């Protein structure tokens, strides 16, 4: 029974990867076919929004408010439908694995990868309810296909019972919230990359990157990225605290500068820096976007290199 369900779960993961890959291709096609669509300003114009001054910036902003979501092609609709389908299969795979294992399905490297990527897609889908950021699909789905594919090929391990060290309610909370925060940072990092490109284009560069004409202006992107990242930051803060509580229960100290703790701390400090940069003159815009990207790179580093190559107490990769 366990083996059968686990096998179904693995088939589902590979299916999800395939569907995501198709979605990724469709998103890339969409971006390559997109053109800037300029429309007249809507009835309500932004007046006196802080930040950037000058007539051109204002004009651009009004253009964007109207264009967002309209410069896209039919590939985008296909891509989005595929993303939703892939997400459903992905979730089913994780649920199956959880049932097969009789425990939470996030206890080794392969399972962490499944969880982190499912949250990246979930956050990407959820943000659509609030702002249309489907142009980010190529980035998110590309990242997810890469991470999930590498993990399925290299990190797959059969289901094993939880070792005594992981038998704790804090496994459920700490790891769940950590992977959730990772999802938010992924979307925030992607938005920040587009923001950097857009800022360069607004400064007169990247003339050939036509799809940038159909995505929001850089300050708008910055606002969306900021909302996503601060949610991730709040979850990351909670991860850190929950981890400390668990460490106190399991190892007798709530903080001991274990390698994983060091990197969790570094990520936290980087995003704390990001939040402060957003409130510091001269650090808004491009510098803070770089911080968000560096922060997300540190998250990836913490998940991959630290788990695999650094020794420490968090030796739960299952490899």
Partner 1 sequence: MTSPSRSDRPADHVDNAGAVTNPRLGPVGWLRWGWRQLTSMRTALVLLLLMALAAIPGSLVPQRTSDPNGVIQFQQRDPETFRVLDSLGLFSTFASPWFSAIYLLLFVSLVGCIIPRTKHHLDALLARPPRTPARLQKLAAFQTAPTEADADTAIEAARVLLRKQRYRVERYGDASTGSISVSAERGYLRETGNLVFHVALVGMLLTVGVGGGFGYTGQRILVQGEPFTNVLASYDSFTPGRFFEESALEPYSLRLDAFDATYEFDLTTRAWHPSDFTASLGTRLPGGDWDSTDLKINAPVRIGGTDVYLLGNGYAPVVTVRDPDGTAIFSGPVPFLAMDANLTSRGVIKVPDGLAEQVAFSGFFYPDPLALSDGTFTSFSPYDNGESLLSLFAYTGDLGLDDGVGVNVYSLDPTTLTQIAGGDSGTPALQLNEGDVAELPGGLGTIEYEGLRRYVSIDIHHDPTPGWALLFAALVLGGLLLSLFVPRRRVWVKAVTDAGVTRLEYAGLARGEDPTLEAAVTELARQHREALGEPEPRMEP
Binding site for partner 1 (CB under 8 A): 43-50, 158, 160-165, 167-168, 223, 226-227, 230, 233-234, 237-238, 241, 244-245, 248-259, 262-263, 265-266, 269-270, 272-273, 275-283, 291, 306, 310-313
User: What is the closest distance, in whole angstroms, from the C-beta atom of residue 280 to partner 1 in the complex?
Assistant: 5
Q: What is the DSSP string of the chain?
A: -HHHHHHHHHHHHHHHHHHHHHHHHHHHHHHHH---------SSPP-S-SS--SHHHHHHHHHHHHHTTTS--HHHHHHHHHHHHHHHHHHHHHHHHHHHHTS-S-SSHHHHHHHHHHHHHHHHHHHHTTS--GGGHHHHHHHHHHHHHHHHHHT-----PPPGGG-SHHIIIIIHHHHHHHHHHHHHHHHHHHHHHHHHHHTT--TT-GGGGGS--HHHHHHHHHHHHHHHHHHHHHHHHHHHHHHHHHHS-S----HHHHHHHHHHHHHHHHHHHTTSTTTTTHHHHHHHHHHHHHHHHHHTHHHHHS-SS------
Which of residues 40 and 50 has its CB atom nearest to partner 1 in the complex? 50
What's the burial of 195, exposed, middle or buried (CB within 10 Å: 0-12/13-18/19+)?
buried
User: What is the closest distance, in whole angstroms, from the C-beta atom of residue 233 to partner 1 in the complex?
Assistant: 7
Which of residues 30 and 222 has its CB atom nearest to partner 1 in the complex? 222
User: What is the closest distance, in whole angstroms, from the C-beta atom of residue 93 to partner 1 in the complex?
Assistant: 19
User: What is the closest distance, in whole angstroms, from the C-beta atom of residue 173 to partner 1 in the complex?
Assistant: 13
User: What is the closest distance, in whole angstroms, from the C-beta atom of residue 210 to partner 1 in the complex?
Assistant: 28
- Contact 253/247 with Cβ under 8 angstroms? yes
- Contact 109/152 with Cβ under 8 angstroms? no
User: What is the closest distance, in whole angstroms, from the C-beta atom of residue 263 to partner 1 in the complex?
Assistant: 6
Which of residues 209 and 301 has its CB atom nearest to partner 1 in the complex? 301
Which of residues 81 and 308 has its CB atom nearest to partner 1 in the complex? 308
Which of residues 203 and 251 has its CB atom nearest to partner 1 in the complex? 251
Which of residues 68 and 277 has its CB atom nearest to partner 1 in the complex? 277
User: What is the closest distance, in whole angstroms, from the C-beta atom of residue 145 to partner 1 in the complex?
Assistant: 27
Which of residues 3 and 77 has its CB atom nearest to partner 1 in the complex? 3
Whose structure tokens read 């990247």? 206
Which of residues 85 and 152 has its CB atom nearest to partner 1 in the complex? 152
Residue 200 vs residues 159, 191, 197: alpha-carbon distances, Å: 48, 14, 5
User: What is the closest distance, in whole angstroms, from the C-beta atom of residue 137 to partner 1 in the complex?
Assistant: 22
Which of residues 185 and 263 has its CB atom nearest to partner 1 in the complex? 263
- Contact 137/79 with Cβ under 8 angstroms? yes
User: What is the closest distance, in whole angstroms, from the C-beta atom of residue 70 to partner 1 in the complex?
Assistant: 20
């Amino acid at each position: 029974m366990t083996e059968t369900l686990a096998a179904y779960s693995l088939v589902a993961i590979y299916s999800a990867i395939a569907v995501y890959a198709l979605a990724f291709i469709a998103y890339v096609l969409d971006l390559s076919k997109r053109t800037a669509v300029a429309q007249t300003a809507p009835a309500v114009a932004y007046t006196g929004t802080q930040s950037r001054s000058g007539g051109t910036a204002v004009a651009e902003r009004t253009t964007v408010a109207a264009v967002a979501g309209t410069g896209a092609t039919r590939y985008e609709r296909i891509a989005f439908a595929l993303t939703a389908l892939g997400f459903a299969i992905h979730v089913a795979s994780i649920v199956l694995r959880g049932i097969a294992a009789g425990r939470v399905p996030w206890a080794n490297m392969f399972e962490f990868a499944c969880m982190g990527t499912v949250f990246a897609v979930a956050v990407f889908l959820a943000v659509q309810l609030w702002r249309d950021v489907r142009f980010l699909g190529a980035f998110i789905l590309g990242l997810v296909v890469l991470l999930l594919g590498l993990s399925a090929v290299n990190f797959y391990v059969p289901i094993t019972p939880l070792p005594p060290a992981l038998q704790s309610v804090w496994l459920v909370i700490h790891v769940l919230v950590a992977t959730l925060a990772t999802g938010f940072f992924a979307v925030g990092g992607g938005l920040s990359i587009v923001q950097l490109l857009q800022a360069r284009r607004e400064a007169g560069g990247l003339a050939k990157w036509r799809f940038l004409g159909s995505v929001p202006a850089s300050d708008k992107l910055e606002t969306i990225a900021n909302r996503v990242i601060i949610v991730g930051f709040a979850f990351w803060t909670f991860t850190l605290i929950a981890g400390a509580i668990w460490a106190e229960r399991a190892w007798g100290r709530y903080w001991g500068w274990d390698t994983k703790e060091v990197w969790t701390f570094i990520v936290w400090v980087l995003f704390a820096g990001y939040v402060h940069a957003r409130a510091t003159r001269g650090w808004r815009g491009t510098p803070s976007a770089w911080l968000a990207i560096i922060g997300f790179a540190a998250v990836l580093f913490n998940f991959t290199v630290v788990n695999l190559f650094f020794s420490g107490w968090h030796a739960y990769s299952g490899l």
